[in-house]
Amino acid sequence: MASVVGEPVTTSPPDGKEFAWRSPVRENPWRRPWVMEGFTWLYIVWSIVPIAIAVLFSFNKGASQATWQGFSTKWYVGSGVTSVLHNPSLHHAVIQTLVLAVVTTVICVPIGVSFAIGIDRWRSRTSYGLNFLMIFSFVIPELLLAVALFLLVTQGLTFIRLGTPAEVAGLVVWNISWPGIIVRARLVSIGASYEEAAADLGASRLGAMRRVLLPMLMPAIFASAVLVFASTVDDFVIVEQLSSTANTQPMSVLIYSNVHGGLSGPALNALATIMLLISLVAALLGFIGYRWMSRGERTAGGAEALTAVAGM
């Protein structure tokens, strides 16, 4: 029997079972966007290759950043003052970065979680304005906020000294939207039925929040804490405006000031590699922690964890 090319033809094999066969026809080229795939891979290579080269030359045995002279870890833990471990300014920059990240996370997350719960419970016209305020840092440019905070600290709130106190205050203002948005989204997905069930069983409002709501919010709280920590580690604009001396400069500011002043070398590559490693470890812990905390309610693999950790 004649058939149209490309159409399925049904035949009956000896065992009586039917199967479908399609003749090999060239696929529609628009079903596979090769051009877009090429641009995607080009973007990935363009983004990763320079970082990989910088990381590679942080292990260079010599001081050159253009010629590979052998593998060495002396720029990290070497005995000379050129290593990150023994150079006082580089060593202190790592400590200052971790201090800012930890303190900002400890302050920012409880405030952001309380802010999200308050807005979710507050039903009035004012709450809509505060809901917009919750995404304030995503709307205005970071440089504008940094300059405004610098003027506020130096001209108005003079009791907040430039340096670590001002940097922490600025970073909390900049990052408070992360826990606010993520926890608010989690509250919307949870709904009020669990708290109502706890109230029907005799729990007080505070008891229902402590024993029912907060445990269910823990995946979102953990993901927001990881985001705040990682965002603080690589922040530059705010801490550059609010730092006072070299002792209050984190890694990002120290790297920029040295490179901008013409003082580059493998030691700075090592410092940048440490900053990158801290951010990657924080993101990995956030991904693993979110998957573990939400293991009883996942249905789509790791996509939800990546979405939550990415803040989307």
What digits encode the pLDDT tens for the residues 144-165? Answer: 888 888 998 888 888 888 888 8
Pairwise CA distance, residues 299 & 283, whole Å: 22
Confidence at residue 123, expressed as pLDDT on a 0 to 100 scale: 65
How far is 278 from 272, CA to CA, in rounded Å? 10
Residue 290 has pLDDT above 80, yes or no: no
Q: Could you tell me which CATH class the domain 88-309 is placed in? A: mainly alpha
User: Which positions ≥6 away from 157 have C-beta within 8 Å?
Assistant: none
pLDDT for the residue 3:
45
Q: Which range is most confident: 21-35, 113-127, 259-273?
A: 259-273
The pLDDT assigned to 125 comes to 66
Q: CA-CA distances (angstroms) from residue 5 to 2, 15, 19, 27? A: 9, 26, 17, 14
pLDDT at 301 over 50: no
CA angle, residues 178, 113, 175, in degrees to nearest 5: 30
pLDDT given at position 300: 44
Task: Check residue 282 and give its pLDDT.
Answer: 85
Dump pLDDT digits (tens) for 219-241.
Answer: 888 888 988 998 898 888 899 88
Q: What is the mean pLDDT of residues 7-27?
A: 50
Residue 309: per-residue pLDDT: 40
Mean predicted confidence (pLDDT) in 186-200: 75
Q: Which of 150-154, 171-175, 261-265 has the lowest mean pLDDT?
A: 261-265
Q: What does the pLDDT read at residue 268?
A: 85
Q: Which of 108-112, 159-163, 175-179, 292-296 has the lowest mean pLDDT?
A: 292-296
At 14, list the tokens: 């000896």
pTM of the shown model: 0.74
Give the chain's mean pLDDT: 77
The Cα 268–Cα 168 span in angstroms is 24
